Structure 1
Amino acid sequence: MPRLALHDWLTNFIPHPGAPEWRERVRRAGGALLGIAFTGIATHLLFGSAGDIPMLVAPMGASAVLLFGASESPLAQPWSIVGGNLVSALVGVACAQWISTPVLSAAVAVALAISAMFLCRCVHPPSGAVALTAVLGGPAVHALGYRFVAVPIVFQSFALLSAALVFHALTGHRYPRAAWRSAAQASASGAPVRPAQQLNAGDDPQRLSSDAFDALTCEEFMSSADHAVPFTMGRHAAWETLRRHGVHALPVVDGAHRLVGTVTHHELANGRRAGFARRLWRGLWRKTVQVEETVEAVMASGVQAVHRATPLAHLASIFADHACYEIPVFDDARRLIGVVKHSDMIRWLHQHAGAAYRDAARPLADAR
């Protein structure tokens, strides 16, 4: 038994198999190259004559990994890099001036920087290195004092972010990512999770007749989400998956099966039905900068999703307002566990509302 437990623990160190296609890898690496080059050149042209301003600080390399290599991450969004680097630089400079012992100053700076980033909701891992640089950067950095916050940190953060925004836009990649939007939060509803009683395809909704509509939760009514696709899947493969399942949209998940978006037939078809001139331009462009072909590039911004304990009645307004065919359902860890289809809801309402109307109309018929 301990041997099996050790084996299971060691398997956690195996690299995740999910990786973008080679074209996407080239695109991301090229973006980092251009972003760092632009940031360094801009700093040199504007502040090179000062002599005491570093042309590039090391944390910008780590920020480039996130902005270009993992731009879908919440840690790579605009406020994360600008806000995280700003507060961490302020904390680092303050600790460097107030605490004389370098090791203690560095430890306190990183701890306070993390706390400040959580408080400001701008967690950005490279910002920890910003705090360390302010403490351990040497006499040149210490001589800058609080100027270190504005130049180079804030300036280079904005320069790198600007390069990322332009690069992603020119290569057809959606950035920044919209904040997670959910139709109902479990913490807000406070609804207890009832025993799962899924309504899968082919099941008869009549078996739920004993429950009132308002008492049903999404977990009791949802269907399986076996048509979910990873965000690294190619557009063509996603199109085939959509056609094979006969659905209008595909939930998109990350490596931990957390919901990150949805992609519909409209987004997937846009790349297949372009005119001759558009196809020619894409062909020429693809030879130069390798336009990505992944689901991540075309999936819808944001996602309408609900927690598994959300009352089913709350979904009626979402279906009406957003004209969607199904709503993803996630668990406490935001992992995708199923979908609620509008067709199932309509069938249930038709059967039970129809029965109620028949019962109400029976006395009228008897009165005749």
Structure 2
Amino acid sequence: MMRRFWPTPLTVSNQEKLRMLVGTALGILFVGVLSRYLGKGIDPWLVAPIGASAVLVFGVPSSPLAQPWAVVGGNTLSALIGTAIALVLPDNLAMAAALAVALAIAVMLWGRCLHPPGGAAALLVVLAHKPSFDIVLFPFLLNSVLLVVAGLVYNNLTARPYPHHSKTDRDDAHANNRFTQSDLNAALEHYQQIIDVDPSDLAQLLQYAESAAYQRTLGDLRCEEVMSRSPHAVEFGSSLSEAWGLMRRHHIKALPVVDRARRVVGIITMADFLKHAQIDDYMSLSERIKHVWKPSGLSHGDKPEVVGQVMTRRVRVASAQSYLAELLPLFSQTGHHHLPVIDSENRLIGILTQTDVVSALAKAVRHV
């Protein structure tokens, strides 16, 4: 039980911590100097909630709670609510404070500008004993705007985009990940709590975590340790009947196409045969395939005769030294079923199939 109260360590570098400290100091200095200059004779010219806002703007600039509208709208609307409640309930500070903070949160939620320092702004106005709508514009609005300006300049100069750019939702049909943005949105809706992370950033974090899990599970397993060695292959000028016979005899669905030096120049798959099997509908599938690879006997014609006329020329290959964890997305996300493996001289030495990958994963899981 007591472990829950132990603070979680911050996973940021010392350089990032220094960036936050310098930015907060410069931001408050900028706001304070300009506010005091523009509000000569007016007190207060700087309010405490701006210090909390600065922590968000310079410390977590990607947070939804730290975006410009959240800072300006949250502080200003909360100060407005606090002033109104203080005028209505001038003699009951406890009740006024409770209502002011609660209504400020409600307004910020409605206005899509939830900002934690806004609650402090509403409470400060109630406790100030000087309810006036003038305080809403100065210093709350002015302080907030100046802080956002400082955040825009400093964060972008230090490679922290501000305002934070949210990635647009990707179409489910074209998603390359194991889950889509719609899936993540559905999970967040089911969670029913506000999470201080942009959904697109959360999706990216989950992808990084997934990659780290792959690397941890598979360790230093390399492609050459998993691949099928001595793969069957055909040359550019090999006949289609030869390629089809190899695939049928050895129960394989793809053949790398190599030149005389065993360098990969393409790949021929079942899909390539089917693509060229455009024969009359009354013919069976086996007759269509047979029609593709059966030689026509003609010296000229449009019918393909050799592997090079049918193969897929753009083929993805892997190095024998590649980590298996790096290749998993090719099988799980891009639809690859066979991956030719080459050595340091770009010669074909093996082929990595889905079966090889599944076997490696099964062995890795058993040892976890």
- TM-score w.r.t. the length of structure 1 is 0.51
1:64 and 2:20 are equivalent in the alignment: no
Match of 2:168 among 160, 169, 181: 181
Specify the code of the residue in structure 2 equivalent to 1:175: Y
Specify the code of the residue in structure 2 equivalent to 1:173: R
Q: Identify which range, 164-173 or 56-65, moves more after superposition.
A: 164-173
Match of 1:116 among 107, 125, 128: 107
User: Where does residue 6 of structure 2 map in the other structure?
Assistant: 14
Separation (CA, whole Å) in 1 of partners of 2:269 and 2:104:
57
Give secondary structure in 1 for the equivalent of 2:137. Answer: helix
Give secondary structure in 1 for the equivalent of 2:43. Answer: coil
Separation (CA, whole Å) in 2 of partners of 1:158 and 1:176:
13
Specify the code of the residue in structure 2 equivalent to 1:165: L
User: Where does residue 222 of structure 1 map in the other structure?
Assistant: 178
Q: How many residue pairs align between the two structures? A: 216
Displacement of 1:19: 2.8
1:74 and 2:64 are equivalent in the alignment: yes
Residues 103 and 330 (structure 1), Cα distance of their counterparts in 2 relative to 1, 3 Å cut: same
Contact 1:64 1:160 in 2 (8 A): yes
1:154 and 2:146 are equivalent in the alignment: no
User: Where does residue 125 of structure 1 map in the other structure?
Assistant: 116
Displacement of 1:170: 2.4
Map 1:280-359 onto structure 2 (within 5 A). 305-307=181-183, 335-336=206-207, 357=275
Residues 30 and 308 (structure 1), Cα distance of their counterparts in 2 relative to 1, 3 Å cut: closer
Deviations 1:92-151 (A, max 9, x none): 110011113111011001111101111111000001001011111233xx2xx1111110
Residues 358 and 118 (structure 1), Cα distance of their counterparts in 2 relative to 1, 3 Å cut: same
User: Where does residue 85 of structure 1 map in the other structure?
Assistant: 75
Separation (CA, whole Å) in 2 of partners of 1:103 and 1:360:
82
Contact 1:305 1:328 in 2 (8 A): no
Contact 1:63 1:126 in 2 (8 A): yes
Give secondary structure in 2 for the equivalent of 1:179. Answer: coil
Displacement of 1:11: 2.7
Separation (CA, whole Å) in 2 of partners of 1:155 and 1:309:
35
Which runs of 5 or more structure 2 residues have no equivalent in the other structure?
A: 187-199, 212-253, 255-267, 292-368
Residues 53 and 364 (structure 1), Cα distance of their counterparts in 2 relative to 1, 3 Å cut: farther
Q: CA RMSD in A?
A: 3.7
Separation (CA, whole Å) in 2 of partners of 1:41 and 1:329:
37
Separation (CA, whole Å) in 1 of partners of 2:183 and 2:273:
30
Give secondary structure in 1 for the equivalent of 2:155. Answer: helix
Contact 1:88 1:128 in 2 (8 A): yes
1:107 and 2:63 are equivalent in the alignment: no
Displacement of 1:362: 6.8
Match of 1:45 among 37, 52, 55: 37
Q: Percent same amino acid at aligned positions?
A: 35
Give secondary structure in 2 for the equivalent of 1:12. Answer: helix
Higher helix residue share: 1
Residues 218 and 358 (structure 1), Cα distance of their counterparts in 2 relative to 1, 3 Å cut: same
Which runs of 5 or more structure 1 residues have no equivalent in the other structure?
A: 1-5, 186-213, 224-303, 311-326, 340-346
Specify the code of the residue in structure 2 equivalent to 1:172: A
Residues 30 and 157 (structure 1), Cα distance of their counterparts in 2 relative to 1, 3 Å cut: same
Residues 34 and 356 (structure 1), Cα distance of their counterparts in 2 relative to 1, 3 Å cut: same
1:23 and 2:15 are equivalent in the alignment: yes
Residues 106 and 353 (structure 1), Cα distance of their counterparts in 2 relative to 1, 3 Å cut: farther
Whichever of the two has the greater Rg, that structure is 2
Residues 43 and 364 (structure 1), Cα distance of their counterparts in 2 relative to 1, 3 Å cut: same
Residues 352 and 135 (structure 1), Cα distance of their counterparts in 2 relative to 1, 3 Å cut: farther
Specify the code of the residue in structure 2 equivalent to 1:121: R
Give secondary structure in 1 for the equivalent of 2:170. Answer: strand
User: Where does residue 151 of structure 2 map in the other structure?
Assistant: 164
Displacement of 1:179: 3.0
Specify the code of the residue in structure 2 equivalent to 1:36: I
Q: Which consecutive segments of 4 or more residues in structure 1 shift more than 3 A?
A: 327-331, 334-339, 350-368
Residues 71 and 46 (structure 1), Cα distance of their counterparts in 2 relative to 1, 3 Å cut: same
Contact 1:218 1:307 in 2 (8 A): no
Residues 351 and 74 (structure 1), Cα distance of their counterparts in 2 relative to 1, 3 Å cut: farther
- TM-score w.r.t. the length of structure 2 is 0.51
Deviations 1:69-93 (A, max 9, x none): 1112111011110111121111111
Displacement of 1:330: 5.1
Residues 57 and 329 (structure 1), Cα distance of their counterparts in 2 relative to 1, 3 Å cut: closer
Give secondary structure in 2 for the equivalent of 1:307. Answer: helix
Give secondary structure in 2 for the equivalent of 1:173. Answer: coil
Which of 1 and 2 has higher RCO (CA within 8 Å, sep 6+)? Answer: 1
Give secondary structure in 2 for the equivalent of 1:57. Answer: coil
